[in-house]
């Protein structure tokens, strides 16, 4: 019951044989050893496994919880995980802002939040605080109380606007 699928993950193409009942999360973590994407609940509730997926035919990537995608479904998809957020040692402004503001503590929720925040800023470069909070409602964090995460996303949005200017 294995299926062959094509995936592009962080710009690299893969041809993989995946069990039908495995999730995209399992493929990323177990087969590709991209372990930055975390397993927090396997029920779509915590957001620790969020990745960006550009489905075949879609014009842009969207965040999904990778525990909620069956591996064979992802055939042909382009995926960005936390490992693909930085380019050539250059951190994403969100990653810089998370370090600067102290928005990460234990760090387990951080990859999913960063990926989801990247998607937020891609579709809404200048989000209000309310929009940031609502966009994060599916990303649980038990350490920080969220305030610095919100600050970091605001900081990265400002940085992004300055680059755009």
Partner 1 sequence: MTRDQESGARSQESASSFQLPASNRKHSLIGTSPQRIEGRAKVTGAATYVDDMQFGPNLLHGMLKHSPIPHGIIVRIDVSKARALPGVRVVVTGEDFPGYTGLYLKDRRIFALDRVRYVGDTIAAVAADTPEIAQQAVDLIEVEFEPLPGVFDPEFGASPEAPLIHPELGNYEAVPFIFPQPGTNVSNWMKVRKGDMDKGWAEADLVYEHKYRVPHIQHVPLETHVCVAQQDVNGKITLWSSSQSPFAQRNLIAKALHISHSKLRVITPYVGGGFGCKAGVSMEGAAVALAMNAKGRPVKLRMTREEEFYTTFVRQGLVAIIKMGMTQEGRITAVHNRFYWDGGASTEYGTNITRAAGYSGTGPYYVPNIHIDSLCVYTNHPVGGAMRGFGMPEIHWGIEQHIDQMAEKLGLDPVQVRLINCLKDGDETLTGMIMHPTGLSQCIQKAAEAIGWTSPPAPLLEGEGSHKRRGKGLAAMWKAPAMPPNPGSSAIVRMNEDGTATVSIGGVDIGQGALTAMAQLAAEGLGVKIEDVRVNTVDTDYSPYEWQTVASRLTWSMGNAVLQAAENAKLQILQTVAEAWNEDINDLDIIDGQVVSYRSEESRSLRDIAVYGMQRPDGTWIGGPVLGRGNFMPEYVTPLDPETGQGPRAVVHFTTGCQAVEVEVDEETGEVQVLKIVSAYDVGRAINPDMVRTQMEGGAVQGMSTALLEGIILQNGVPRNPNFTDYRIATAVDAPLELESIIVEVPQDDGPFGARGVGEHPMVPTAPAIANAVYNAVGIRIDSMPITSEKVWRELAKTRP
Partner 2 sequence: MQPFDYLIPKDHAEASALLAAGGGSVRPFMGGTDFLIRARGGFIRPQSVVDLKVLPGMREIRQSPDGWLVIGAACTMNQVAAHPLVLAGYDLLAQACNSVASYQLRNRATIGGNCCNASPAADTAPALFCLDAVAETYGPAGARRIPIADFFVGPGRSALQLGEFLTAIHLPPAPTGACGAFNKLGRTKLGDISAVSVAVYAWEHDTETPRRDWRIALGAVGPTPLRAPEAEAALAADASPQGVQRAAELTAAAARPIDDIRASAAYRRAMVAVLARRGIEAVLAGIARAGLQAVPFGGVPAGSVSPTGVLREGRPEQMIGGAA
Query: Contact between 99 and partner 1 (CB under 8 A)?
Result: yes
DSSP secondary structure code for residue 11 in this structure: T
Residue pointed to by tokens 């490992």: 83
Q: How far is the CB of 42 from partner 1 (least distance, A)?
A: 7
Q: What angle do CA 69, 76, 53 make, to 5 degrees?
A: 50
Query: Contact between 133 and partner 1 (CB under 8 A)?
Result: yes
Query: Contact between 37 and partner 2 (CB under 8 A)?
Result: no
Query: Contact between 142 and partner 2 (CB under 8 A)?
Result: no
- Which of 54/133 has CB closer to partner 1? 133
CA distance 25 to 57: 22
CA distance 134 to 12: 32
CA distance 54 to 64: 10
Binding mask 18-57 for partner 1 (x = CB under 8 A): -----------x---xxxxxxxxxxx-xx-x---------
CA distance 161 to 164: 5
The contact set with partner 2 (CB under 8 A) reads 1, 3, 19-21, 23, 42-44, 47, 50, 58-60, 62-65, 67-70, 72-73, 116, 119-120, 123-124, 127-128, 130-131, 133-135, 137-139
């Amino acid at each position: 019951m294995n299926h062959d699928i094509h995936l592009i993950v962080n710009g690299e193409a893969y041809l993989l044989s995946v069990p039908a009942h495995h999730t995209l999360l399992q493929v990323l973590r177990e087969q590709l050893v991209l372990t930055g994407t975390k397993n927090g609940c396997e029920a779509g509730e915590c957001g620790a496994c969020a990745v960006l997926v550009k489905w075949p035919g879609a014009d842009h990537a969207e965040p999904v919880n990778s525990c909620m995608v069956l591996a064979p479904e992802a055939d042909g998809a382009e995926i960005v995980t936390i490992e693909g957020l930085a380019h050539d040692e250059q951190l994403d402004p969100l990653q810089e802002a998370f370090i600067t503001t102290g928005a990460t503590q234990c760090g387990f929720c951080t990859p999913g939040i960063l990926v989801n925040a990247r998607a937020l800023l891609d579709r809404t470069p200048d989000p209000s605080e309310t929009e940031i909070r609502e966009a994060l409602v599916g990303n649980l964090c038990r350490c920080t109380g969220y305030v610095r995460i919100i600050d970091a996303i605001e900081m990265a949005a400002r940085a992004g606007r300055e680059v755009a200017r």
